[in-house]
A and B are shown apart, each in its own frame.
Chain A
């Protein structure tokens, strides 16, 4: 459905409750092909829960997602790879589980992307946190799905690695991949996102371009010098 139109992913009225706590309250989201959408918000806002539901890891209590989990690439916040397998073995295993047609080619490509070719034979447990995250992202990209979900993808990366990952992600978006990512790095959101979704207490408070967030703050009589100030002022105005 998504690929036949401009929309790559549509989530409608997503709600999720953990016991008495409402993690998400009727969040709707539509992502177009080639669009980069950043999910931002304070800790506990529901960013990871929303991405987990979009990825098919958790089921929503209400609402729907129009894509099958297998049609969506997923990069979790915590590196999801086996410490006792080498970098190449991790990539090959997931390529095979994803039914990638040429797993060895895909592995070579991802090693090139992550710049870990020389460490292909090293056990994942021996890698630094940054390098583990690079492999983690590479595994999420193996299936070449037209929707990619990244949960704080650059959290453990140094600036050079971060730039490299973003170069690749932006390249994917340019080729039509819809990218949804959560981040605490507001500069990263302002720099790369076509659209930001501000979540707080499980509610989507804002959806629009980074510039539009600043404009909304100004309309409410607030002032800001950059995106981060605009974001903080926006939340403060809404009691967060």
Chain B
């Protein structure tokens, strides 16, 4: 078997195109999957034009001065800001300049903050009936995917800004309520503050003068005192109500299954599993089918090599090659993703066992198809659906379809490989179960391959 193994390695060495394909194809594919899973599209380019005059970007809320630039910064965390030159332009011209950026394709969207943004925002805490400020958003809908992404991103960020401002308004409202109940000073521009007596202070004054008035007047004062107490108590109740408006919903998340694997770590496990599947299946299936295409199989199994030995050699060769490639991938990905290097022995164990399972499946494919081209085609046709089936999330399909997907995934090595790699990389648990599953699959596919060799000549 040693000579056969050396022969196969020599043939591989003389097939640089095949080797490059076997390495590059899964690596490129897995990197793409990794990117798709671990990162959304790039930040959308958004033209941002603030028409608010310089020096008017702050607003007084509840006696506190708030710089609106802070809320702009929060928006810019999610977008790539395309500057709009508004120097020397009217508000209308500036707005048009931002829209031009969208129409020319330089930006996917334009956000226009109106001139009266701060004034209208400040007016919300007064009785001025000017209404809230309106931020205008223009976006390009040529590409529906990106348009949806831009729309979602801007809506999410503007909602966050809205919520933050609402929180500040609530605080301001609560502060006014406190003054109404207990009295105090309310800041007012240019006056240095307005002294508010408050319900409690008014009540105390009325109680103080009550003994010195006539009984008819006392009855009137008692009505004032009752009103004051009632108002204080009810306004006191409104305080927790207003506070709850700041965060009406609280979310408590509990993961029912799996560990605390981060998306990037899972993407690494997925990328490696996909690569391993491709490399091992194609090598094992191709190298076995090649023995028949070269007419060498009949010569070999005439006592030179046993059929089982031949299968072990092919599966082993493919497993060793894929192990080397996948370990190199992990080391490479480890430069970009935070991996626990102390768990490296478990990586090797998971990769070795899963490579053997894929190797067994590969020789089964090679033995059944009997031709290199047919074997390669079947490997590719098998791999992609297996990967997709294993990634079908629960709840995305009907329970029956999900059960079928799980059942199919369970009889092929991809899903247990993903579980084993996830457990080895991220300590998500279940490594022993996944390895036992893979070992059982290796034996089962080895047996199928051995049976298929009966009609291999």
Which residues on A are within 8 Å of B, measured CB to CB? 52, 55-58, 68-70, 72, 74, 76, 78-85, 89, 93-94, 96-98, 123, 139
Contacts and interface: CB of A to CB of B under 8 A. Distances in A.
A78 B4 CA distance: 20
Given A82-B7, A84-B11, A96-B3, A69 B294 contact: no
> Which 4 pairs of residues, A with B, have the shortest CB-CB distance?
A70-B303, A80-B295, A97-B304, A84-B11
Nearest to B290: A82
A94 B303 CA distance: 12
A123 B295 CA distance: 16
Given A68-B303, A97-B304, A98-B304, A52 B11 contact: no
B15 interface: yes
Contacts, number: 61
A94 B302 CA distance: 12
Given A58-B457, A97-B3, A83 B299 contact: no
Given A97-B4, A97-B304, 7 more contacts: A70-B302, A81-B295, A81-B296, A82-B296, A89-B10, A96-B3, A97-B305
A94 B305 CA distance: 11
7 contacts: A55-B298, A55-B302, A56-B302, A70-B303, A74-B302, A84-B10, A93-B4
A102 to B, nearest CB: 15
A136 B321 CA distance: 30
Contacts of B11: 82, 84-85
Given A57-B457, A84-B15, A89-B10, A94 B299 contact: yes
Contacts of A82: 7, 11, 294, 296
A78 B3 contact: no
Contacts of B7: 82, 85, 89, 93
Contacts of A81: 294-296
Nearest to A98: B304
Interface of B: 3-4, 7, 10-11, 14-15, 294-296, 298-305, 457
B7 to A, nearest CB: 5
Contacts of A80: 294-296, 298-299
B416 to A, nearest CB: 34
Contacts of B4: 93, 97
A127 B393 CA distance: 55
Contacts of A96: 3
Nearest to A92: B3
A83 B298 contact: no
A180 to B, nearest CB: 15
Given A85-B11, A97-B304, A57 B298 contact: yes
A80 B304 CA distance: 14
B21 to A, nearest CB: 16
Contacts of A79: 295
Given A93-B7, A97-B3, A57 B301 contact: yes
B299 A78 contact: no
B10 A85 contact: yes
